[in-house]
Amino acid sequence: MIHLDNVSWRRGKKDSAPVLAHLSFMVPQGGFRWLLGPSGAGKSSLLSLLHIENLPTDGQMTILGKTVAQEEKRAALVRLRQRIGMVHQDYQLMPDLSVADNVALPLRLQNRPEDEIQDEVHAILKWVGLGSRTDVPANRLSGGEQQRTAIARAIIHRPGLILADEPTNALEESQSCRLLDMFAELSAMGTTVVVATHNESLVRRLERPFLFLEHGRLVDDGGEQP
Ligand SMILES: Nc1ncnc2c1ncn2[C@@H]1O[C@H](COP(=O)(O)OP(=O)(O)OP(=O)(O)O)[C@@H](O)[C@H]1O
- For residues 60-70, give the mean pLDDT: 87
Distance 42 CA to ligand 1 centre (A): 6
Which of 8, 19, 203, 211 has most ligand 1 atoms within 8 Å of its beta carbon, as the pocket-test mutant? 19
CA nearest to 150, candidates 39, 169, 184, 30: 169
**Average pLDDT for residues 105-127, to the nearest whole number?**
95
For ligand 1, what atom is nearest to the CA of residue 198? 25
129-147 mean pLDDT: 95
Model confidence at 218: pLDDT above 70: yes
**Which of 99, 80, 79 is closest to 91 using CA atoms?**
99
**Residue 89 CA, closest ligand 1 atom number:** 27
pLDDT confidence tier of residue 74, bands split at 50, 70 and 90:
confident
Three-class SS state of 110: coil
* Residue 170 pLDDT: 87
H or E element that contains 184: helix 173-188
Q: Model confidence over 1-48: pLDDT tens digits?
A: 999 999 999 998 777 889 999 999 999 999 999 999 999 999 999 999
Query: Does 74 or 26 have the greater pLDDT score?
Result: 26
- Smallest CA-to-CA distance from 4 within 80, 75, 62, 91 is with 62
Pocket of ligand 1 (CB under 6 A): 11, 19, 37, 39-45
Rounded mean pLDDT, 157-185:
92
Q: Where are the domains of the chain?
A: 2-83+159-221, 94-150
| Lowest mean pLDDT across 125-129, 161-165, 194-198 | 125-129
Q: 224: pLDDT confidence band, cut at 50, 70 and 90?
A: low
Tell me the CATH number for domain 2-83+159-221: 3.40.50.300
Is 90 exceeded by the pLDDT of residue 71?
no
- Cα–Cα dist 186/226, whole Å: 13
Q: 121-137, pLDDT tens digit by residue? A: 999 999 899 999 999 99
Ligand 1 centroid – CA 215 distance (Å): 10
The rounded distance, in Å, linking the Cα atoms of 106 and 175 is 23
What's the gap in Å between 217 CA and the centre of ligand 1? Answer: 13
Expressed in percent and rounded to 5, the helix, strand and coil fractions of the chain are 35, 25, 40
Give the per-residue pLDDT at 75.
83
**CA 36–ligand 1 middle distance (angstroms):** 14
Share of residues in the chain with pLDDT > 90 (%): 80
pLDDT at residue 225, rounded to an integer: 57
Contact in structure between 201 and 224 (CB atoms under 8 Å): no
Q: Whose CA is nearest to atom 14 of ligand 1?
A: 42
- Among protein residues, the one with the nearest Cα to ligand 1's atom 18 is 42
> From CA 213, how far away is CA 33, in angstroms rounded?
12
Distances (CA, A) of 73 to 67, 171, 201: 13, 38, 42
Residue from 34, 43, 199 whose mutation best tests the ligand 1 pocket (most atoms within 8 A of CB): 43
